Amino acid sequence: MNKYSQAYAKDLDAQDELAIYRKEFYLPEETIYLDGNSLGLLSKRAESSLLKILDSWKRFGIDGWTKGKYPWFYLSEKLGNLTAPLVGAFPEEIIVTGSTTVNLHQLVATFYKPKGKKTKILADELNFPSDIYALQSQIKQKGYDPDTHLIRVKSQDGKTLNEDEIIAGMTDDIALIVLPSVLYRSGQILDMKRLTKAAHDRNIRIGFDLCHSIGAISHALHEWNVDFAFWCNYKYLNAGPGSVGGLFVHEHHFGNVPGLAGWFSSNKNVQFDMEHVLTPAHHAGAYQIGTPHLLSMAPLIGSLEMFAEVGIQKLREKSIKLTNYMIELVKNELNEYGFILANPLEEIKRGGHVYLEHQEAASICKALKANGVIPDFRAPNGIRLAPIAFYNSYQDVYHAISILKEIMVEKKYKNFKNTREVIA
């Protein structure tokens, strides 16, 4: 059978044991959604768990904190338990709280302790801007200049990072390292185990931004001795726009007072004693700040139930198959049209999306949307296509690349300006 045919894609779908989960999601009509690495789709279970939390508010009022199927007071910890297998952590090392950037501020405020010669933070020049803004802010809070104290590892090709160069940047003046687990543009996976060992060998603490890896690849944060990590839950974990974030703190650091303390940093047994001296929780819950955003957390309950059923290994296996198939189609069908496959081709180094570069990327993305394919544009010239294991099919991949080829053959992209929209 011709592997570049729709029949071949249909056969792959017939063999896919995860295909049954497609019906769990609300798929946009007559649309191929390939932007789940920016915002995952709504599942029926996430909708149901949100309605259950609303119902507990309706039925119990303030007693919802301790009554109902999901008592609110303990929900952050419950969701941490469900998240732990996705990142390779003990349940007590995870808490669902805050947002990506708030959690980063919390963790840097806790772990960045400049002293003596060690005063600088090591990051990279390809990281998502929000992380860099937070690091610059924290450096200023300590009285240092971000221009001299935030060191960013350079990229040789503008797409990927060389881990040897990251390690070479772990010099005697580095107090803390914050890196992405998966680069948001190219999808490169960094070797977190190797980088953590290298940091610890040099007496440097290290943390990772898991926004583009959690729910897409497996982790072993506890085993690797990663000091901390943080993430959002609205991409591969499908918890909804602006949903609550999460964080990991290795048990080695339990008992420390968080850098940004708040009421929910408390040991729950004494929290309502209302003392003016904080007794922090003896687990990752100490790194909460304020009251949990219950309506933001609620969809994650239903979403994580599906992850618990399937397991991250099976999801990763299908994700690799989907992206491998997409890459094969790109090479075969789009070779003549100026696209550059800019993500790592090795499976072990590639996250959950395919990254193409083209000088007309913005207009191509607009043409794709106009023809029923939802991609993701990344300035200046990047197109991200993320086939999600839970709800995308091999036929989705086949049709998306067929539509992209038609757009290039017929030059449909020329009907659109090659500039990004307000939200890209």
| DSSP string across 293-341 | -HHHHHHHHHHHHHHHHH-HHHHHHHHHHHHHHHHHHHHHHSTTTT-EE
What is the percent of the chain where pLDDT is above 90?
A: 96
Q: Which of 114, 157, 152 is nearest to 133 (CA)?
A: 152
Residue whose pair of structure tokens reads 């040789």 in the numeric block: 156
Q: What pLDDT, on a 0 to 100 scale, did the predictor assign at position 423?
A: 76
Structure tokens at 92: 């007590």
Structure tokens at 213: 């890896």
CATH superfamily membership of 6-30+311-409: Aspartate Aminotransferase, domain 1 (3.90.1150.10)
Identify whether the C-beta of residue 161 lies closer than 8 Å to the C-beta of residue 155: yes
Structure tokens at 2: 């011709």
Across residues 93-114, what is the average pLDDT?
A: 98
Long-range contacts at 277-280 (CB < 8 A, ≥ 24 apart): 280/255, 280/256
Distance, CA of 238 to CA of 43 (rounded, Å):
7
- Cα 319 from chain centroid? 15
Q: What pLDDT, on a 0 to 100 scale, did the predictor assign at position 58?
A: 97
Binding-site members for pyridoxal 5'-phosphate are 100-101, 128-131, 209, 212, 234, 263, 291
Strand, helix or coil at 178?
Answer: strand
At 394-417, the pLDDT tens digits run 999 999 999 999 999 999 999 999
- Helix residue ranges, H only, 71-191: 75-87, 100-111, 129-141, 146-149, 163-168
Geometric angle at alpha carbon 187, from 181 and 190, rounded to 5°: 35
Question: DSSP character for 109?
Answer: H
Peptide bond into 380 cis (omega under 30): yes
Distance, CA of 181 to CA of 350 (rounded, Å):
11
- In 189-331, DSSP assigns E strands to 205-209, 228-231, 246-249
Q: What average pLDDT is seen over the chain?
A: 97
Q: What global pTM score does this model have? A: 0.97
The pLDDT-based confidence of 422 (bands split at 50, 70, 90) is confident
Is the pLDDT at 424 greater than 80? The verdict is no
Q: What pLDDT, on a 0 to 100 scale, did the predictor assign at position 295?
A: 96
At 272-327, the pLDDT tens digits run 889 999 999 999 999 999 999 999 999 999 999 999 999 999 999 999 999 999 99
Across residues 41-64, what is the average pLDDT?
A: 98
Options 3.30.70.580, 3.40.640.10, 1.10.10.10, 3.30.1330.10; CATH for 48-309 is 3.40.640.10
The domain limits of the chain are 6-30+311-409, 48-309
At 168-222, the pLDDT tens digits run 999 999 999 999 999 999 999 999 999 999 999 999 999 999 999 999 999 999 9
φ, ψ of residue 4 in degrees (nearest 5): -105, 15
Binding-site members are 100-101, 128-131, 209, 212, 234, 263, 291
Residue whose pair of structure tokens reads 């040897």 in the numeric block: 164
